[in-house]
Amino acid sequence: MVRKEARFYEKINDSVRCLVCERRCLIYPGKRGICWNYFNDNGKLFHIGYGKISALESRPIEIKPLFHYWPNSTALTYSTWGCNFYCPWCQNYHLSFTHPTDEEFIIEPEKIVEMALKYGDDGLSASFNEPAVNLDYIIDASELAKNKGLYSMIVTNMYFTKNSLKALIEVGVDGFSVDIKGCNKMRVLTGIDHTTIFRNAAYAINAGAHVEMIYLVVTNTNDFEECFEWIINNHLKYLGSKVPLHINKYYPAYKWSEPPTSINTLLKIREYAKKEGIEFVYVGNVHSTELESTYCPQCKKLLIMRSYYRVHEFKLDYIDGKYRCPRCGYEIPIKGKYIKKEYMLH
């Protein structure tokens, strides 16, 4: 096992309470938490999944999805093993439902940063499996990346404790693609307080980070009216009207065999979100240029045209550090700058 002591835990006699995520696992000596990445060794908590990379490749930022963060850039994307939610419809179950072992090859965070620079990527992204289970590694890698002029972002269920989230932001993680799994009246993921996701997303925004919310609409699971209204109302309550919302199509995976989300359901939720006042609402996983492009909320002009996770037209003025609609001057919230380059696979 890699001997990397965890940053966030408290001792309770011989046991420890992990304070990485809001699961707050009480871990007995010789045992692991629910994600299997944190291990109690004689009253100390160790991150035993540290550096055990399961996937590594350059990917466009739009695929995360993040549409208002460093548009058209690429991020060296990495993952480890395990999760703290275990959604039964997980597309990446082969990573999220696999536990780290002692056999995996270790890639130090310095190497990740070196590879990103070599490949010409603009930043790092922790994705594929839940980044919370890899917290200590992400903190180390993101701090190194910041020192080299790279951004750091994560694709996450956002179930961090406040202290672990604060630590991520302090070392330079300033982009969050946040999965809102549903509401507190679902028949699955019943041990999750979904309000916590909005609490943490609001904290990140107030700390200067960029957040976009991703609502995967799972048929007969989190697609009922009370649930999507709860999500959209909390989005406005905690995050405001300018934080983008992605309403994404679900496809059967792993243990979930409900049919794919109908386009009518996606459009119904989109219209409700727009009617309630969310300014930037996208429909994903359907490969519709119209539904994935950005329009000015004020004058309706097409500003950013996207297709298959790439920006094909970018029609914004950049004035005094802000992007604005060239027709009416309305400010379009974007973190970072538009990157003019072709995407190359590594």
Residues 85 and 141 in one domain: yes
What's the CATH code of the domain at 233? 3.20.20.70
**Each residue's pLDDT tens digit, 248-272:** 999 999 999 999 999 999 999 999 9
- As a whole number of angstroms, the distance between CA 305 and CA 303 comes to 7
Residues 33 and 135 in one domain: no
**Each residue's pLDDT tens digit, 100-118:** 887 777 999 999 999 999 9
Domain, as residue range, for 200: 55-332
- As a whole number of angstroms, the distance between CA 212 and CA 89 comes to 21
Q: Which helix (H) or strand (E) holds 165?
A: helix 162-170
Judge if pTM exceeds 0.85. yes
Q: Tokens at residue 166, please?
A: 């604060």
Residues 235 and 257 in one domain: yes
pLDDT at 346 over 60: no
Residues 189 and 214 in one domain: yes
**Each residue's pLDDT tens digit, 153-200:** 999 999 999 999 999 999 999 999 999 999 999 999 988 999 999 999
Report the domain count for the chain: 2
Residues 260 and 175 in one domain: yes
**Each residue's pLDDT tens digit, 181-190:** 999 999 999 8
Q: Is residue 266 part of a domain?
A: yes
Q: How many residues does the chain have?
A: 346
Residues 71 and 40 in one domain: no
> Residue 309 — very low, low, confident or very high, per pLDDT cuts 50/70/90?
very high
Residues 41 and 135 in one domain: no
The rounded Cα 122 to chain-centroid distance in angstroms is 17
Residues 41 and 166 in one domain: no
Q: Is residue 241 part of a domain?
A: yes
Q: Is residue 96 part of a domain?
A: yes
Residues 206 and 167 in one domain: yes
